[in-house]
Amino acid sequence: MRELLKYINDNSIDFYVVFNDKFEVMRSSNNIDSKKIRNIKSLIWLEEIGRFEQFIKNIKRERWSVGQFEVSLNEKTYQSIQIIGTTFEGNFLIFWGNPNKIIEETEIKKSILDEALYQSKPILEFLLDENYTIIEIIKNSFHREHYKNSSMANKNYSELVDGQDLDEMKIFHQKIVENKIIQKLEYRLKGFEDEIFWVEEYAKKIEKNDKTYYHCLVLDIDKEKQQILSLINEKDQALHLANHLERTREQERKDMAREIHDEIGHALTSLKLDMNLLIKKRFMREEMLISRLNDMMKHIEQTIKTVQQISAQLRPSILDHFGLIAALEWQAKEFQRQTTIRCKYSLPDEDVEIPENKTIAIFRIFQEVLTNIARHSQATRVDINMTIENNILELQVSDNGIGIKKEYINSPTSLGLIGMQERAKLIGGRLNLSSVINVGTTISLNVAI
* Beta-sheet pairing, 342-346 with 381-389: parallel
Each residue of 424-443: pLDDT tens digit?
A: 888 888 999 998 899 999 99
Predicted pLDDT at 116: 38
Each residue of 327-369: pLDDT tens digit?
A: 899 889 989 988 989 999 999 888 778 888 888 889 889 988 9
Which of 99-113, 361-375, 376-390 is least confident? 99-113
* Closest residue by Cα to residue 358 from 350, 366, 368: 366
User: Which residues, in sequence order, are CB contacts of 425 under 8 Å at separation 6+?
Assistant: none
* Beta-sheet pairing, 211-220 with 196-208: antiparallel
Predicted pLDDT at 398: 93
The average pLDDT across 237-264 equals 69
The average pLDDT across 129-155 equals 85
Q: How many CB atoms lie within 10 A of CB 366?
A: 23
Predicted pLDDT at 112: 40
More confidently predicted of 239 and 7:
239
* Closest residue by Cα to residue 421 from 372, 367, 365: 365
Predicted pLDDT at 120: 59
**What percent of the chain has pLDDT above 90?**
12
Predicted pLDDT at 442: 93
Mean pLDDT of the chain: 79
Q: Which CATH superfamily hosts domain 318-449?
A: Histidine kinase-like ATPase, C-terminal domain (3.30.565.10)
Confidence bin at 75 (pLDDT 50/70/90): low
Give dist(CA 52, CA 48) in Å, integer: 6
More confidently predicted of 418 and 160:
160
Give dist(CA 50, CA 55) in Å, integer: 9
Let me know: does 196 contact 189? Beta carbons within 8 Å: yes
Cα dist from 440 to 125, 173, 246, 364, 429, whole Å: 52, 53, 30, 22, 23
Let me know: does 7 contact 113? Beta carbons within 8 Å: no
Q: Which CATH class is domain 2-103?
A: alpha beta
Predicted pLDDT at 350: 80
Residue 104 has pLDDT above 50, yes or no: no
User: Which residues, in sequence order, are CB contacts of 78 under 8 Å at separation 6+?
Assistant: 45, 70, 71, 72
Highest mean pLDDT among 106-115, 118-127, 200-209, 384-393: 384-393
Distance of CA 101 to the CA centre of its chain: 47
Q: What are phi and psi of 255, to 5 degrees?
A: -65, -40
Predicted pLDDT at 207: 79
3-state SS record for the chain: CHHHHHHHHHCCCCEEEEECCCCEEEEECCCCCCCCCCEHHHHECHHHHHHHHHHHHHHHHHCEEEEEEEEECCCCCEEEEEEEEEEECCEEEEEECCCCCCCCHHHHHHHHHHHHHCCCCCEEEEEECCCCEEEEEEEECCCCCCCCHHHHCCCEHHHHECCCCHHHHHHHHHCHHHCCCCEEEEEEEECHHHCEEEEEEEEEEEEECCEEEEEEEEEECHHHHHHHHHHHHHHHHHHHHHHHHHHHHHHHHHHHHHHHHHHHHHHHHHHHHHHHHHHHCCCCCHHHHHHHHHHHHHHHHHHHHHHHHHHHHHCCHHHHHCCHHHHHHHHHHHHHHHHCCEEEEECCCCCCCCCHHHHHHHHHHHHHHHHHHHHHHCCCEEEEEEEEECCEEEEEEEECCCCCCHHHHCCCCCHHHHHHHHHHHHCCCEEEEEEECCCEEEEEEEEEC
Q: What is the CA radius of gyration of the chain?
A: 36
Give dist(CA 121, CA 138) in Å, integer: 16
Each residue of 9-51: pLDDT tens digit?
A: 555 566 788 888 888 888 887 777 655 678 888 888 877 888 8
Let me know: does 431 contact 443? Beta carbons within 8 Å: yes
Each residue of 268-321: pLDDT tens digit?
A: 777 877 777 777 776 677 787 788 788 888 888 888 877 777 766 666 667 777
Each residue of 25-36: pLDDT tens digit?
A: 888 877 776 556
- Counted residue by residue, the chain has a size of 449
Please report, in angstroms and rounded to a whole number, the separation of the first and last CA atoms in the chain: 46
* Closest residue by Cα to residue 263 from 306, 304, 224, 294: 306
Confidence bin at 117 (pLDDT 50/70/90): very low
Residue 67 has pLDDT above 50, yes or no: yes
Which of 75-84, 292-301, 355-364, 408-417 is least confident? 408-417
Give dist(CA 226, CA 241) in Å, integer: 22
Confidence bin at 103 (pLDDT 50/70/90): very low
Give dist(CA 245, CA 420) in Å, integer: 12
Looking at this protein, which amino acid is placed at residue 1? M
Predicted pLDDT at 395: 93
- Choose the CATH number for 123-220 among 3.40.50.2300, 3.30.930.10, 3.30.450.20, 3.40.50.1000: 3.30.450.20
Predicted pLDDT at 384: 94
Cα dist from 328 to 58, 317, 323, 367, whole Å: 56, 12, 9, 9
